[in-house]
Structure 1
Amino acid sequence: MLDHVSIGVSDIKRTGAFYDAALSPLGYKRLSHGDSSLGYGDKGVQLWISKTGKPVPADRESGLHFCFTAKDRAAVDAFHAAALKTGGKDNGKPGVRADYSPKYYAAFVIDPDGYRLEAYCGK
């Protein structure tokens, strides 16, 4: 249904470091970059990030949720570790979410601007 999504962030350099690290284990990379925008994907840009004033109020998290597919459980684990190392907050450690499905393995983080991210593997 969707071709791509765009989000606004407060610090493009910090955000670039975070997404470079968090998305790399999932096979996504930075495909476009400039002083005020970044683009991530595997074959084409699927996530656009651009600098904006204040994307999410400081006293709460964004209502947006993005789930990225991972090739395996190790990639989910690496996504979570890399995200925490580069300024993300834990929002659910890697593990099976049996209430979703017996094979639903996922990890959840909140990026430096308050966006909720998930990496998921169904194996």
Structure 2
Amino acid sequence: MINHLSIGVRDIARTKRFYDAALAPLGYRCLSEGEGSLGYGAKDVVLWIGQTDHPVPADPRSGLHVCFDAPSRAAVGAFHRAALAEGGKDNGAPGLRPDYGPTYYAAFAIDPDGYRIEAYFGAA
């Protein structure tokens, strides 16, 4: 249904370090890099990131978050550790979320610009 998502950030270099680290365990990488822009995905770009001159901080009340598929529970944990190591904030440690489903295993982080991101693995 959704082809891609775009977000604006204050510091493209800091953001690249963060997303390179956090998304690598999930099998995603930077597929496109230009002056002030980044594109992440596995085969095709699904997340575009652009540096903006006047960024508006992410609004935690909006409910917006980006969920990335993970290949395993171990990858969910690696995503969370990498996100925190690169300046992200914890928004939910790796673990089962039975309220979402019996095999819903996820971790949540907040990136340096305040965007909420999640890694999810759904097999038993």
What TM-score results when the alignment is normalised by the length of structure 2?
0.93
| Other structure's SS at 2:56 match | coil
Large movers: runs of 4+ above 2 Å: 60-63
Counterpart CA distance in 2 for 1:119 and 1:42 is 14
Whether contact under 8 Å (1:76, 1:119) holds in the other structure is yes
In structure 2, the partner of 1:55 is 56
Identity value in percent: 64
User: Which residue number in structure 1 is paired with residue 90 of structure 2?
Assistant: 90
Please give the residue correspondences for 1:1-123 in structure 2 after superposition, counting only pairs within 5 Å: 1-52=1-52, 53-56=54-57, 61=60, 63=62, 64-123=64-123
- Number of matched pairs: 121
User: What whole-Å deviation, never above 9, does each CA across 1:6-45 have from its counterpart, x for those lacking one?
Assistant: 0000000000000000000000000011221000001111
Please, what TM-score do these two structures have when normalized by structure 1? 0.94
C-alpha contact (below 8 Å) 1:6/1:49 kept by paired residues: yes
- List gaps (5 residues or longer) in structure 1: none
Alpha-carbon distance between aligned partners in 1 of 2:13 and 2:75, rounded to the nearest angstrom: 24
CA distance in 1, matches of 2:95, 2:78: 12
Q: Aligned letter for 2:41?
A: G
CA distance in 2, matches of 1:7, 1:17: 16
Structure 2: give runs of 5+ residues left out of the alignment: none
Q: CA RMSD in A?
A: 1.2
1:38-83: CA deviations, max 9, x gaps? 00001111100000122316xx536320000001100000000000
